Structure 1
Amino acid sequence: MRSLPAAVVDAAVVLLFVLIGRSSHGEANTLLDVVVTLWPFAASLTLGWLVTRAWRLPIAPLRTGLGVWAITVAAGMALRALSGGGIAVSFIAVTSLFLAAGLIGWRAAATLVLSRRTTAPSPR
């Protein structure tokens, strides 16, 4: 079951984004406050997984990572705006960059590591 660890890493990236963002703005990280900030992006991450069928190729950086990232950012911003949250241009930029580094970045690193394992010469 390769998709469960990938889903957990994606969820951790989104949670880390929320925690760092709230902390950098001096906001409380109580459970309720974190959930209020997290839910639009967590729901959008789930949508991204469904639309891209991420469970089929969970580690593919472009096919899966790019799609999951784009949907998470776009739908997350839409849900945040609809629920009364701010979506300043600077917030959209930071969100896009952080989530790209996280959701695409870990997949690129994993792909690189796995490809080196399978193409490494055998010891003599």
Structure 2
Amino acid sequence: MPANTAPVPHPPSTARTALLAAAADAVLILLFAAIGRDAHQRGEIITGVLATAWPFLAGAAVAWLALRLWRAPLALWPAGVAVWLGTVAVGMLLRALTGQVVVLPFVIVALLSLAVFLLGYRLLFAATRRFRARRRLG
């Protein structure tokens, strides 16, 4: 008997779900900045992390607002991909406009790291939903 591969529809988002997803995105962007600063042994922990993270946090906010991601904030597509690419694109643009370093290796690391962070928890959420839906169906 073939497995049901039909996608599980996304339930309507609640304000609580959207708020939690936005908070998770922000925390993961801050974690990205903290790990990066630690890897390069930079001082000024809190202000340094905020200085590194703010362009990316702004990018995520732009994506959330421009695309109204609160409608299905945990969906991998389009919400996850949009917040990931918006975070990196706007973040790098703001870094460049404010005289911060934007070099290809950093762009690549940011793309990969933020993909793991911002898409990863959405993938886990989708997999959990599918697993639970299949268990209910039998």
Name the TM tier (shorter chain). over 0.9
| Greater C-alpha radius of gyration | 2
One-letter code of the match for 2:130?
S
Structure 1-normalised TM-score? 0.93
Q: CA deviation at 1:122?
A: 6.8
Cα RMSD after superposing both structures: 1.4
Separation in 2, partners of 1:53, 1:102: 20
Q: Which residue of 1 aligns with 2:27?
A: 12
Q: Which residue of 1 aligns with 2:3?
A: none
Q: CA deviation at 1:12?
A: 1.1
Unaligned runs of 5+ residues in structure 2 are 1-15
Separation in 2, partners of 1:112, 1:52: 24
Q: Which residue of 1 aligns with 2:135?
A: 120
Determine what percentage of the aligned residue pairs are the same residue: 38
Q: Which residue of 2 aligns with 1:88?
A: 103
Separation in 1, partners of 2:32, 2:100: 16
Contact 2:63 2:83 in 1 (8 A): yes
Q: Which runs of 4+ in 1 moved over 6 A?
A: none
Alignment coverage as a number of residue pairs: 123
Structure 2-normalised TM-score? 0.84
Unaligned runs of 5+ residues in structure 1 are none
